[in-house]
């Protein structure tokens, strides 16, 4: 009886033209609200480094004021001087006062780094346009939050950091910033909230990452990262320091063709053969010296050293080590790579957010100029004791000698 009354009531409600229109309009309104909500969620998750950067500059001063008090209690740690570096017997000298020419060259290299950062970001945007997600997936992505990075690729320049980052971004549990934030070396005064805003949104269980190779040689970076979190995992991509120096010079030469020759920049005095360690291309390759600074703040178990040479010859093997270090399942394997004969290094069969193959941009894989073999040998002799010390510190022989 009750069932028939309910059916009769529903029939009477639906048979009324006015009530019928009200019901249809209500349904349409609910659908419109759902679509609007989904659209807002999608727009909020659109990747836009340019917008993030602008927002960071606009609010940087305000954030800096808010975090000023919280940073005050860290001053003592940041000002703590690391233990002095014990010199290895060689002709290495700690640079004191740089000449005007050296400063100009370093400024040129800084401009080159920023130009390459822009080229990489632009190439990434053109080559990795992600397909538009559905309304439901957008709603899911909108539930994530921005976190400070739990892992950072801190070095080294021209070692293979861009390749490693692009390979890692294939992993579904890794979210990384494409461009280099340079927070712990150039933008530290903007505060941690500014830094956090640069990060992508992540879900529970995902790892936030960034890479800035200059951190490894920035004296203040270890203390600053430790102040953010002592649990931060650090990744360093190292490469034969002689080859790395030539690659560094090649990058600068591509932007500044009028710079002095590699040979003239390498020596303080060509006759005596004394190496000019004030040139950053040489100084970066003294890995043991820089590592000693990091070990004042982080234990060795929190630092993973990736071979730049093996990243080319066996990318899946090196990526396996990185995934283990990050505590992730080994998802990135041999099936993700193919070797590009033209460029001379491995490329991804499918990049993040794309179904197309992806190789690094034109700024990677430049042809090195011919360097006098005598200069190359002199550099190998110079780096040898530092390499031996680095092997002892890391417990790994990278085979550069």
Binding residue ranges for 3'-phosphoadenylyl sulfate: 158-162, 239, 247, 364-368
* Signed CA dihedral, 302, 72, 218, 177: sign only: positive
What is the rounded distance in angstroms from the CA atom of residue 307 to the CA atom of residue 40?
43
Give the neighbor-by-neighbor strand order of the sheet with 174-176.
Answer: 174-176, 207-211, 151-155, 233-238, 303-307
Residue among 19, 21, 147, 158 flagged as catalytic: 158
CB 320 within 8 A of CB 135: no
Active site residue 211: no
CB 161 within 8 A of CB 213: yes
Q: What is the largest CA-CA distance in the chain?
A: 111
Structural element, H or E, at residue 210:
strand 207-211
User: 207-211 and 151-155: which strand pairing?
Assistant: parallel
What is the rounded distance in angstroms from the CA atom of residue 156 to the CA atom of residue 239?
8
Cβ neighbors of 388 (< 8 A, separation 6 or more) are: 401
Specify the residue for token string 């700690």: 94
What is the rounded distance in angstroms from the CA atom of residue 325 to the CA atom of residue 158?
22
What is the rounded distance in angstroms from the CA atom of residue 391 to the CA atom of residue 398?
7
Q: Which of 380, 238, 257 is nearest to 309 (CA)?
A: 238
Q: Looking at the annotation, which residues are catalytic?
A: 158
């Amino acid at each position: 009886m009750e069932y028939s009354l309910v059916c009769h009531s529903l029939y009477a409600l639906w048979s009324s033209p006015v009530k019928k229109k009200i019901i249809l309009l209500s349904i349409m309104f609910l659908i419109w609200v759902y679509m609007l909500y989904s659209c807002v969620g999608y727009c909020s998750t659109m990747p836009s480094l340019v917008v993030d950067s602008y927002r960071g500059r606009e609010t940087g001063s305000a954030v800096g004021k808010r975090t000023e008090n919280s940073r005050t209690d860290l001053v003592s740690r940041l000002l703590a001087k690391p233990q002095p570096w014990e010199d290895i017997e060689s002709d290495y000298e700690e640079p004191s006062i740089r000449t005007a020419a050296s400063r100009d060259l370093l400024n040129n290299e800084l401009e080159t780094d920023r130009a390459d950062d822009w080229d990489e970001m632009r190439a990434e945007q053109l080559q990795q346009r992600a397909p538009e997600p559905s309304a439901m997936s957008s709603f899911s992505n909108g539930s994530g939050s921005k976190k400070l990075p739990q892992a950072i690729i801190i070095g080294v320049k021209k070692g293979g950091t861009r390749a490693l980052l692009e390979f890692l971004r294939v992993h579904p549990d890794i979210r990384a910033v494409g461009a280099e934030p340079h927070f712990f070396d150039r933008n530290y005064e903007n505060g941690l909230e500014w830094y956090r805003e640069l990060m992508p949104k992540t879900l529970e269980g995902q790892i936030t990452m960034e890479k800035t190779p200059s951190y490894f040689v920035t004296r203040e970076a270890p203390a600053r990262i430790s102040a953010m979190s002592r649990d931060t995992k650090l990744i360093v991509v190292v490469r034969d320091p002689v080859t790395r120096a030539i690659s560094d010079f090649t990058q600068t030469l591509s932007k500044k063709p009028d710079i002095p020759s590699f040979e003239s920049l390498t020596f303080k005095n060509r006759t005596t053969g004394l190496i000019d360690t004030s040139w950053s291309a040489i100084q970066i390759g003294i890995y043991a010296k820089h590592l000693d600074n990091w070990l004042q703040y982080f234990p060795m178990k929190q630092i993973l050293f990736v071979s730049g040479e093996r990243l080319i010859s066996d990318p899946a093997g090196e990526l396996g080590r990185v995934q283990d270090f990050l505590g992730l399942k080994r998802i990135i394997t041999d099936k993700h790579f193919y070797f590009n004969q033209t460029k001379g290094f491995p490329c991804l069969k499918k990049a993040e957010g794309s179904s197309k193959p992806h190789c690094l941009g034109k700024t990677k894989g430049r042809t090195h100029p011919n360097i006098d073999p005598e200069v190359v040998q002199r550099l190998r002799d110079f780096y040898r004791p530092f390499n031996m010390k680095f092997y002892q510190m890391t417990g790994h022989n990278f085979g550069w000698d």
